[in-house]
Amino acid sequence: MRFAIIILAAMSLLGGCSTTPKPRPIDPPTGSDIEASIDRGTRWLIEHQNPDGSWGSARRTKDLNIFAPVPGAHDAFRAATTSLCISALIETGSEDAAVDAAIDRAEAWLIVNLPQVRRANMAAIYNVWTHAYATQALVRLLDRHADDKSSVRQILGQLVDSQIDRLARYEMLEGGWGYYDFYSHTQRPSGLAMSFTTATGLIALYEARQAGFNVPQDMVDRGLTALRRMQKPDFTYVYSYPHQKVPMRPVSRPGGSLGRSQTCNAALRLWGDAEITDQVLTTWLDRLFARNGFLSNGRKRPIPHEAPFQVAGYFYFYGHYYAGVCIELLPPNQQQKFQNYLAHTLIGVQESDGSWFDYPLYDYGHAYGTAFGVMAMTRCRQDTHSLAMLTHD
């Protein structure tokens, strides 16, 4: 009996117990605290935009850089980062002329450079991130140009179609998306479908479908099937397809899935998966804020997956942004608690210069981190539009 109690206590500490941990009480940030944080992040983005309208570069390096064949990998990193920054600035709803000017410059850069983004080589397929985040940015740009009678709407619409086509072209053979294909080197990738990359693509495709674009249902169905195969019974998601064979590795346990489960649950919920109930969303939001230290432990570490539970730094703000998406999917009367926790968490880790930063990815880290931070914070506003209307009767 004593041994069983010790085992259960250990499982609880490791994030593997069936009892959902609950976050500690906090003093919720005020509305003015939230707006001030968003404004500081927005100002950082404006001040650090490249002269050509993009964000990020390959300039900043460290002793250990991730595999990134030039120039294709950096074309993808820069376009994906710029797309995230565009979405962030639009989502602030700011009427500041400087924000409008920054979006205009970034839009012009994206129109010229997005068509050039491809896989870097047969192994590196980082461009799938570009195609997903560019799709979302373009949908927001189209909404921004809703009353525009010029040809720009046609151009943006054609780019959305092209990004959907690219996602189809770089879909893994078994469905879904990943960003490496080290072994097969086939024209259509047949490497590792990853749960979080697949979920990211599915969310982008959902937004494109909602905006009226033709999204092939068979591609969506394959992605959903792939994602469900990587789902464990407690809605932990293994890192990638091969991890199904070793589901209890640290990276595929609850503590290692904190940055992925939010994304994967949101993707399945948006596409109508009845198993992703309000309870599933709230359970994983509770877990995120109660066990935030597991995810935070990887923040700013230069080596991917060196933290406990094999957490990589770049999951931190990514995971919190999609936590904001999950909050939007809840009924309005269940959102405020989690908005408070999300705002409290992100304000606590915002840098003194207004940026958010979790991983030294060349010179893209501060820009993508700040974009994720701003978008997550906009979802903490108490009067924001709720996605729950899309998924609740």
Residues 168-196 have pLDDT tens digits of: 999 999 899 999 998 888 889 988 899 99
The pLDDT tens digits of the residues spanning 294-305 come to 999 999 999 999
Assess if residue 11 is contained within a domain.
no
Assess if residue 18 is contained within a domain.
no
Contact 16, 253 (CB under 8 A): yes
Q: pTM to 2 decimals?
A: 0.93
Q: Which domain holds residue 80?
A: 43-391
For the record, the structure tokens of 125 come out as: 């397929």
Assess if residue 15 is contained within a domain.
no
> In whole angstroms, what is the distance from residue 172 CA to residue 226 CA?
10
| Percent over 90 (pLDDT), the chain | 84
Checking if the pLDDT of 3 tops 50, the result is no
DSSP letters spanning 30-56: PHHHHHHHHHHHHHHHHHT--TTS---
Cα within 13 Å of Cα(104), Cβ side: 6
Q: 3-state class of 290 per DSSP?
A: helix
Contact 331, 272 (CB under 8 A): no
Q: Tell me the residue type at 79.
A: A
Q: Which residue has the higher pLDDT, 77 or 63?
A: 77
Checking if the pLDDT of 5 tops 60, the result is no
Cα within 13 Å of Cα(383), Cβ side: 4
**pLDDT score at 7:** 38
**pLDDT score at 61:** 67
Nearest to residue 132, comparing CAs of 276, 263, 243?
263
> In whole angstroms, what is the distance from residue 282 CA to residue 295 CA?
18
> In whole angstroms, what is the distance from residue 360 CA to residue 366 CA?
8
The pLDDT tens digits of the residues spanning 68-102 come to 999 999 999 999 999 999 999 999 999 999 999 99
Distance in angstroms between the alpha carbons of the first and the last residue of the chain: 47
pLDDT class of 18 with cuts at 50, 70, 90: low
Largest CA distance in the chain: 74
Which H/E stretch holds residue 155? helix 152-169
Residue corresponding to tokens 């990853």:
194
Assess if residue 20 is contained within a domain.
no
Mean pLDDT of the region 261-274:
98
Assess if residue 109 is contained within a domain.
yes
Alpha carbon 67 to chain centroid distance? Answer: 20
Domain count, the chain: 1
Assess if residue 10 is contained within a domain.
no
CB neighbour list of residue 371: distance below 8 Å, 6 or more residues apart: 45, 55, 81, 84, 85, 87, 88
Assess if residue 233 is contained within a domain.
yes
φ/ψ of 231, rounded to 5, equals -95, 135
CATH at residue 77: 1.50.10.20
Assess if residue 102 is contained within a domain.
yes
> In whole angstroms, what is the distance from residue 80 CA to residue 128 CA?
9
Q: Tell me the residue type at 316.
A: Y
**pLDDT score at 375:** 98
